[in-house]
């Protein structure tokens, strides 16, 4: 099934967020049902989070769209995503940066690394690379990045990510534990940082060196 009617219904509901047509078109093109467990495919186009295993979720479509809007994505950009999850958000970003751009997505849970890689492959995305590692430390191999997205709540904004952001780059990150504030952070040409709060959100906690210690 392609869920065309369900996809269209979802996109029509997102139009009221004031999103660009580019984001709406990208959201429509991504087959979200290929990025959730098979038993959840019937709910893939409901605007709500979905459990994907390992106590992790795929974000609600309106949140994915909002974060893409805050990232101000365009053709040819190189993006670092911290937290691949199912690969869905990376696929939407991939649509927006195009074949001349690339998404590097880091995931610390090995089962989700394999899950997201398979989903992206099955959906036909070739400009997304999923890496097994600690995303809170960034990923220096392809730094600096035009844009950085964090899909989990961090204790604070890691310097490691700010250091991997290009001048005139944008970082979008939730900060907090149970309930978080979403921040859009911009690095100016002179290296100075501006931080803008964009509202309350709820994500799983960031795990890793600069994340929360979930063992205590």
Alpha-carbon span 201 to 12, nearest angstrom: 22
Cα torsion angle, 205, 52, 23, 122, sign: positive
Tell me the two tokens of residue 199.
């509202």
State residue 204 phi and psi, 5-degree precision: -65, 155
Strand ranges (E), 54-179: 56-58, 78-82, 102-107, 128-132, 145-150, 165-176
Alpha-carbon span 202 to 48, nearest angstrom: 12
CA atoms within 13 A on the CB side of 191: 3
Cα torsion angle, 197, 198, 199, 202, sign: negative
> Is there a catalytic annotation at residue 59?
yes
Strand duo 102-107 + 78-82: pairing: parallel
Catalytic residue among 13, 59, 105, 194: 59
Residues 84 and 113 sit within 8 Å (Cβ to Cβ): yes
Catalytic residues: 59
């Amino acid at each position: 099934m392609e869920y065309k009617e369900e996809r269209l219904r979802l996109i029509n509901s997102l139009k009221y967020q004031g999103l660009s047509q580019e984001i709406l078109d990208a959201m429509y093109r991504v087959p979200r049902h290929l990025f959730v467990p098979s038993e959840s495919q019937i709910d893939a186009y409901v605007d709500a989070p979905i459990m994907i295993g390992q106590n992790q979720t795929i974000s609600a479509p309106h949140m994915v769209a909002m974060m893409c809007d805050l990232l101000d994505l365009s053709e040819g950009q190189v993006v670092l995503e911290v937290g691949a999850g199912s690969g869905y958000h990376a696929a939407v970003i991939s649509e927006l940066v195009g074949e001349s751009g690339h998404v590097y997505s880091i995931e610390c849970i090995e089962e989700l690394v394999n899950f997201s890689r398979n989903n992206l492959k099955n959906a036909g995305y070739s400009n997304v690379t999923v890496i097994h590692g600690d995303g809170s430390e960034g990923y220096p191999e392809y730094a600096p990045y035009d844009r950085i997205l964090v899909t989990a709540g961090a204790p604070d904004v890691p310097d490691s990510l700010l250091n991997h952001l290009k001048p005139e780059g944008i970082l979008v990150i939730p900060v907090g534990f149970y309930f978080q504030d979403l921040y859009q952070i911009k690095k100016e040409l002179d290296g100075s940082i501006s931080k803008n709060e964009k509202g309350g959100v709820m994500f799983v906690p960031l795990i890793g060196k600069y994340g929360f210690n979930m063992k205590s």
